[in-house]
Homo-oligomer: A and B are copies of this chain.
Amino acid sequence: MSTYYAVVMAGGGGTRFWPLSRQARPKQLLPILGETSMLHQTVERLLPLFPAERVYVITGRAHADDARDDLEMLPPENVIDEPAGRDTAPCVGLAAAFLEWRDPGATFCALPADHFIGDRDKFLAALRAAFEEAQSGALVTFGVKPRHAATGYGYLECEGKRVRRFCEKPDAATARKFVESGRHFWNSGIFVWRAAAILEEFRRHLPGHHAILSTIAEAFGTSRLPETLALEFPKMPRISIDYGVMEKAADVVMIETDFDWDDVGSWRAAAARRPTPTEGLTECVDSPDCLVLSTDDHLVATLGVEGLVVVHTPDATLVARKDRSEELKRLVERLKARGLEKLL
């Protein structure tokens, strides 16, 4: 029988949580939603289903040590660092090649490190169902029943359990049609497949990537691995697993679920999901609907404000309207243009 693994993709950088997130401290390593980091919460959520030694985390080289420190429940060698960020397809391919080498016939779940999942039991039930489904060789996706006509997520269009189409983020009118159709589900970016099955899809749809992964696979278990990985991995062009493989694959099925899910893409989203509206040394007078975080022993005081996110870090502070926090990129671009990279 196939052994089950989990591979947490923790490669992202991103500035959507500036000034808390930085190039050196990306979102997944931060306690955006409470006491522990999003990565930590993601791994914790998996542990009822996977023994720790079968949970892997793939992260950027610059963040691997921080991730190991953050994940005291995992063997340190289970945190694998990519030599370069190449989006999700090379990351998934490396995981597949490694697991198929380590344990031929393995099945694994690939999932993002930085998403909110509100109901662990539903999530684990869906995961169990997905692992069973994947034994046939199908590529299994998780479709989350939409709770509103979100324009910030991709959608899966289904016919029965089969995925007919991967839909990009829709405009508002399309999103409403999607929700009414009953056949469209949020694409959560969580996948389950046999390592051999996804590698076969790489061979068909990303043959260049597949060849490089084969070269890397020959080095597993040898002293050449670090050198080979450093040389070969960055040769793979940057592409997501959705675009590179899933949209073209024939045998894609969907597990329908309705756990509360969110990719937590902005301060506004984080504020909606956090257990408390303040953290650290704060004093908020008549300040409804605000998220106020102070990360050091600096006092942040608010008076008579509404709907703001205020985040204090040792070298930079953000004061933004919560419903404008999606535009943080503009602010970050301006800081870059001013030569303030050290604050990014």
Which B residues are CB-close (under 8 A) to A324?
286, 303-304
Q: Does A130 reach chain B (CB closer than 8 Å)?
A: no
Is A310 an interface position by the 8 A CB rule?
A: yes
Per-residue interface assignment for chain A, residues 324 to 342, with 1 indicating a CB less than 8 Å from any chain B CB and 0 otherwise: 1101101100110010100
CB contact list, A286-323 vs B, under 8 A = 286, 297-305, 308, 310, 312, 314-321, 323
Once the chains are docked, how many angstroms separate the CA of A120 from the CA of B328? Answer: 44
Binary per-residue interface labels of chain A (237-265) against chain B in the complex, 1 for a CB within 8 Å, 0 otherwise: 00000000000000000000000000000
Q: Please report the C-alpha to C-alpha distance between residue A327 and residue B302 in the assembled complex, in whole angstroms.
A: 11
Complex alpha-carbon distance, A286 and B327, angstroms:
11
Is A11 among interface residues, defined by CB-CB distance under 8 A?
Answer: no
A-B contact list, 8 entries, CB within 8 Å: A283-B331, A298-B317, A299-B315, A301-B319, A302-B319, A303-B318, A303-B321, A303-B327
Most chain B beta carbons < 10 A, residue from A300, A323, A325, A331: A331
Interface residues of A, dominant DSSP: mixed
Contact of A317 among B286, B300, B308 (CB under 8 A): B300
Partner among B19, B301, B338 whose Cβ is within 8 Å of the Cβ of A335? B301
* A331 engages B298 (CB within 8 Å): no
A343 at the interface (CB under 8 A from B): yes
Task: Tell me the nearest residue of chain B to A294, going by C-beta.
Answer: B317
- The smallest C-beta distance from A341 to any residue of chain B, in angstroms, reads 12
Asked whether A285 is an interface residue with its Cβ less than 8 Å from the other chain, the reply is yes
- Give A306's nearest chain B residue, CB to CB: B321
